[in-house]
């Protein structure tokens, strides 16, 4: 476990794990501004602009990549690949929710929702109830910013301000969650911030709350060799110094690289779900968003997008 994490740590939107939500929203904002975007998030930019994290706000500006390319073309390619990945990931899970609601599911739970704006930007069927679980300060920041801009949710949205390491099932039910109703669950950009045993506990709890016909979608953890990660950190630090940019946080310092972590699809298959996994690299290629990056090792793993239905 990283020295930056502890079992009872907490954060707001500009610190620790919270700041990674800004990175993801910045990538969504950038994608939205492209001529033929995979996804559209009209609220991502306003959520990022005043977050105060430094480097991630720079992802909003395509000129940053141009400046990087002048100094280090490999780093520019890596930035582009990062943005492409986030666009593909968002696209995949947007489609998951579209399929779930088309099947009649009207109860949605987004775990560690961060700056996720699906409650506001997706076209939810009438009667959809959507629960967002995250740290209190993260939920407060998002609600305040969107309210200041007059943005309202397109589903019946419920905030559940609780740490997922606490008794979140009780907090969720107190907020109005109905355990007898089929539910579509999302764990996007979450599992890497949990130890292996906490991942198992999370999905056990989800299973206990899931009526037959419920669905779940999750992103598994990506891994990268320590020496490769250090090489990237040093390369970016050199580029940042030349361009006067803030140094990029090492996201891996916030994650748990646990060798005992279960294969999620196999775990779900063994615990009352019918699961399938899509390799994110394959999905990037399918959507024509894959680029070769010299700084990427052949041994680096890519995440899988796992979906499952409760039997």
CA-wise closest residue to 82 among 262, 293, 246, 256: 293
For 281, which DSSP code? H
Q: Please count the other Cβ atoms lying within 10 Å of the Cβ belonging to residue 173.
A: 14
Within-domain flag for 185 = yes
Within-domain flag for 206 = yes
Within-domain flag for 8 = no
Give tens-digit pLDDT for 82-115. 899 999 999 999 999 999 999 999 999 999 999 9
Q: Please count the other Cβ atoms lying within 10 Å of the Cβ belonging to residue 121.
A: 20
CA-wise closest residue to 219 among 308, 115, 285, 303: 303
> What's residue 5's pLDDT?
44
Within-domain flag for 190 = yes
Within-domain flag for 11 = no
Within-domain flag for 146 = yes
What 3-state class would DSSP assign to 165?
A: coil
Rounded CA gap, 11 and 15, in Å?
Answer: 6
> What's residue 1's pLDDT?
40
Within-domain flag for 92 = yes
> What's residue 231's pLDDT?
75
Rounded CA gap, 45 and 233, in Å?
Answer: 26
Looking at the structure of the chain, the number of domains it has is 1
Give tens-digit pLDDT for 196-228. 999 999 999 999 999 999 999 999 987 656 666
For residue 299, the enclosing domain spans 17-310
Q: How is residue 237 written in tokens?
A: 């630090």
Q: Which CATH number belongs to the domain containing residue 169 in this structure?
A: 3.40.50.150
Rounded CA gap, 40 and 263, in Å?
Answer: 31
Within-domain flag for 4 = no
What 3-state class would DSSP assign to 189?
A: coil
What 3-state class would DSSP assign to 110?
A: strand
Residue ranges of the chain whose pLDDT lies below 50: 1-3, 5
């Amino acid at each position: 476990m990283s020295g930056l994490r502890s079992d009872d740590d907490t954060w707001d939107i500009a610190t620790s794990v919270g700041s990674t939500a800004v990175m993801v929203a910045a990538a969504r904002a950038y994608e939205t501004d492209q001529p033929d975007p995979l996804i559209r998030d009209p609220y991502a930019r306003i959520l990022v602009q005043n977050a105060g994290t430094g480097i991630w706000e720079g992802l909003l500006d395509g000129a940053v990549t141009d400046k990087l390319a002048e100094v280090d073309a490999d780093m520019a390619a890596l930035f582009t690949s990062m943005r492409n990945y986030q666009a593909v990931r968002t696209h995949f899970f947007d489609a998951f929710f579209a399929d779930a609601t088309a099947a009649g599911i009207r109860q949605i739970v987004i775990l560690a929702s961060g700056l996720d704006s699906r409650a506001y930007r997706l076209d939810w069927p009438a009667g959809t109830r959507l629960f967002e679980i995250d740290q209190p300060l993260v939920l407060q920041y998002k609600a305040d910013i969107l309210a200041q801009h007059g943005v309202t949710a397109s589903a019946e949205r419920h905030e559940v301000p609780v740490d997922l390491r606490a008794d979140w099932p009780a907090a969720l039910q107190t907020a109005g969650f109905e355990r007898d109703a089929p539910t579509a669950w999302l764990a996007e950009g979450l599992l890497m911030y949990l130890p292996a045993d906490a991942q198992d506990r999370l999905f056990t709890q989800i299973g206990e709350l899931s009526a037959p016909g419920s669905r779940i979608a999750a992103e598994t953890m990506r891994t990268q060799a320590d020496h490769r990660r250090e090489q990237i950190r040093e390369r970016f630090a050199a580029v940042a110094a030349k361009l006067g940019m803030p140094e990029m946080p090492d996201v891996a310092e916030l994650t748990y690289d646990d060798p005992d972590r279960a294969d999620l699809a196999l775990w779900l298959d063994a615990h009352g779900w019918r699961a399938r996994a899509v390799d994110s690299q394959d999905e990037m290629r399918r959507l024509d968003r894959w680029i070769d990056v010299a700084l990427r090792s052949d041994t680096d793993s890519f995440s899988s997008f796992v979906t499952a239905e409760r039997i």
